[in-house]
Amino acid sequence: MRARTVFPLVAAALLAASGARAADEGGDLEAIRRRGVLRHLGIPYANFVTGGGDGLDVELMRRFAAKLGVAYEFVETDWPDAIPDLTGRRVSPRQPDPRAARAVPVRGDVLATGMTVLPWRTRSVAFSSPVFPTQVWVVARAASPIAPIKPAGRLSDDIAAVKALLRGKVVLGVAETCLDPALYGLERTGARLELRKLRLDEVAPALIQGDGDLALLDVADAMVALQRFPGKVKVIGPVSETQQMSVAFRPGARQLREAFEQFLADSRRDGSYDALVQAYYPEAPVYFREFFAAR
């Protein structure tokens, strides 16, 4: 009888230990150098990760791996799994505390995929310095009677003007991403908010097909949509302040993050970062002059 009682306790202890190991796999800089591979977690999204083996973040991480003297490996993930794949904890906006989250296997060392720094994410990962600026815009089909706002000279006024146009309109968004309407108080505008289970690059096509009156897009995806669907979409205006996209690291990977900070600073000084921006987002310095002028 006692043996039967002890066995479940031992099994539970082994499972707990296994979960702890799953959460600790990955390691810091020296572990990556011993392994000889930097595992880059990414999601096919805009021109950060094109899905064709290139993209701004792909090129940046390839160069970072070369700087570290290790091989580069791309590991595809998706938005719900991205941070869990990095940290080994099943965190989410509803469960942002990694201490209370379920342990899962670690699949990568660094998460670089045009990821916006959001408050809940900062509880789970250590972000780098800003790599790319962004903002969330409302977009419409080109034939929509809703006209773009006239900039007032103050961002807060522009945001208020855009929100005033949303009442009664169907607005497409994506939950648990930077396109989640709840992040910007849109539930108070009188809009009919439609949360779709879409990849971010599927939002503009859904809008064009008539799935909604308006949609949320961040600047990077909006720039791609304007090129990909010329004459079919238009920008109405912003619903967010300027935000930052950064590279995410496990909180314990301090040396790896410090190595990336030095690499990023060197890349901005020597012009190689600017060359990548010109290759993948040539319009970005026009929208965000201050960010790209800084060194």
* pLDDT (tens digit per residue) in 146-193: 999 999 989 999 999 999 999 999 999 998 889 999 999 999 999 999
Query: Which residue shows structure tokens 């238009």?
Result: 234
Query: Which strand (E) or helix (H) includes residue 116?
Result: strand 110-116
Q: Is the dihedral of CA 169, 170, 174, 176 positive or negative?
A: positive
Using one digit for the tens of pLDDT, what is the confidence trace for 257-274? 999 999 999 999 999 999
Q: What angle do CA 190, 117, 158 make, to 5 degrees?
A: 40
Same CATH fold assignment for domains 12-133+245-293 and 136-241? yes
Residue-level length of the chain: 295
Are 276 and 59 in contact by the 8 Å Cβ rule? The answer is yes
Tell me what the mean pLDDT of segment 137-151 comes to: 96
- Across 56-60, 131-135, 198-202, least confident range: 198-202
Are 162 and 236 in contact by the 8 Å Cβ rule? The answer is yes
Q: In CATH, what class is 136-241?
A: alpha beta
Using the predicted structure, report yes or no on whether residue 104 has a pLDDT greater than 60: yes
Kindly list the domain boundaries of the chain, sorted by start residue.
12-133+245-293, 136-241
The CATH number of domain 12-133+245-293 is 3.40.50.2000: no
pTM (2 d.p.): 0.83
Provide the β-strand partners of residue 127: 248
